[in-house]
Structure 1
Amino acid sequence: MSVAAADWLPAATVTASGRAVLSAGEIERHLLPLVDLEPEENPRLAPLHGCLLALTSHRLVFLHEASLSARALPLASIAHAYPPHRRHNHNPLRSLFSSSSSSSSSHHPRIRIQISLPPSRSEVVAVVVTCKADVDVFYGRLLEAIRARAWEATASAAPASGAPVAEGAAPAEEDLAIRMPVVGVAGILRKEQETWESAGQNLQDAFQDLNALMSKAKEMMELAEKMRQKLLTNSSAQSNSNDEEMGSKQDMQDLLLSVGIVSPVTKETAGALYHQQLSRQLADFVRVPVERAGGMMALVDVYCLFNRARG
């Protein structure tokens, strides 16, 4: 069944090299090279066969590489995901006379998913993993993405009333520690405990600062990607601008290029598809620099630009 037939799922945009186009803030989490999507209860839902499945922080994207088309299942519509299992056929006569495709499909790991479809109906579908892959790892990352709810995450500011309380409490503890004499074994143990508590607090504060820095860096990456797309759109629409405006756009594009790729392909997320997906991401990335360079670039320059963008 073609991807276009599964009109009960929203369509997803695909790049020219065959990768799913990610939205702002969306990150690729895992790839499975060959899966099927089959309805468990409603036969009116058209199935999908032979798709590359991309798990992102927002969606399950089923990509049909031959037709460069894709359908997406938003993670927000998933009510529950059941652990992987294999369908066992208890009727020997049915298994004897069943078709080879259905019998082979029944032996593949299946992840049953309960989803909500508009307007207000619940369906159960199954992701059938027909390739050699660690299904438990994929299931774990699927649960992590669902629980993270990155599609609705917003930056939460720390309460202003919490900081003065902590600052006011710290001097009292320090004064108390100074007044307590360090005498004997008990004093040495108390001093050691205070040192460990202070080190633990410093480590916790450092990790909080690191998490804040990472969240801000993610926001800056999203902003840079939006600005880059807007600049590319404006540059194609306004080709008769003067040299000064073109120079400023060139400087801005160079600055945004140094920020990097929002969701680079890694071995952890792509697995066996690492080299294939990396080459496709390179093809998508190098298109704009090559066009700006007049249609030709040295391989060394491409290598430097791409690796700088990957970080």
Structure 2
Amino acid sequence: MNRFAYEEARLVESESFVSRDRNVKIYDGDQKTEFEDGEVVLTTHRLFWGRPGEIARAAVTLCLPLSYVISLSEETTSNFFGRKTRIIMHLRPPDVSKGPGPLDTSRATHIKLSGKNGLRVEFHNALRETLTARVWEISLTNETILKDPEAMANVNERLARIQKRTGIGGIERHLEAKAKATDENIALAFQDLSVLMAMAKDMVGLSKSISGKIREQKGEISDDETVRFKSYLLSLGIDDPVTRDNFTSNTAYFNSLAQQICEMLLDPIEEHGGMMSLADVYCRVNRARGLELLSPEDLLHACEQLNGPIKLRRFPSGAMVLQLESHDDELIAIDTLEKVNAAESLAVEELANQLGISLLLAKERLLVAERLGKVCRDESVEGLRFYANLLLHRNVD
């Protein structure tokens, strides 16, 4: 970092813009610095780094003359989000006449440029081509040489070479590098997927073993957390999910799938008050099936085949739920009325919070109670609320 100096981000005579990149941070050797999330601009002579917008305003920014750069190399790092490449710029010692900068001394003989997702391939290629062309040597050795047409042609040739190699050629190299990185990421993903599939069978087997032992001890279970843990285990995984490949007809496939859904969701639906929205069913079923995911259409067709003890119900509003056959609207309406009386009035979200159910199910409970005359609604600027229906249930003297 002691090669950088503070300079205005303005182009000098014979200097041209080459490339830029964003969200770049600088390392002093292998040490992190405070210079993060900045914009880096490459010219034919220098490398500028500034906070977003500073370079555009020609403000004072960090500046590294490219004449300091001896060579380039790169390093690749990996983390949870993937791989990224850092550029390493190996530098010669600073000049005595160098202006003031962020550091007066540094033991490092190189700096690193890094981005959140790695530097763009176009910028990396542009930097490499610019260092190869070394346009600054012509203009800095003797500025009067620019008046010579032959020398000027030499400069233009080098600039054209940079533009050509960082233009169409840069795009081609970027596409090749992107394809290579994609292939590497796909290969890495399939390696992780293979491990996950191997572990999934063990996890499902473990969950079945534990849930079986809990079922054996059913008479001794009384703690709410233990009951909840049991329900999680029972819906954690299916060791042999029904798949379409095992059937020659859609009818047989959907019937078998419906039976498996019924076996898996019977206990959870009972614990949720006898009703579960189709969206919750979709999430639970696919979580339990692991890698053998169902499409929404297949799930709906399977639910339409249910014939007990769970059935598919469509409300007048269009909402669809899975409901126990023993689920009685009259009892639900009475229970809802009791909760409305206890609170004097209830909004949909308040009932959902009380019962621990979705807003959709809470609204349908209130609408069922309304259709049976147990409650009535009041719509105002404050929203929709339900009250006990005193008109039908008041005492008449």
How does the TM-score come out when normalised to structure 1?
Answer: 0.37
Q: Which protein, 1 or 2, shows the higher relative CO under an 8 Å CA cutoff with sep ≥ 6?
A: 1
Please give the TM-score of this superposition, normalised by the length of structure 2: 0.30
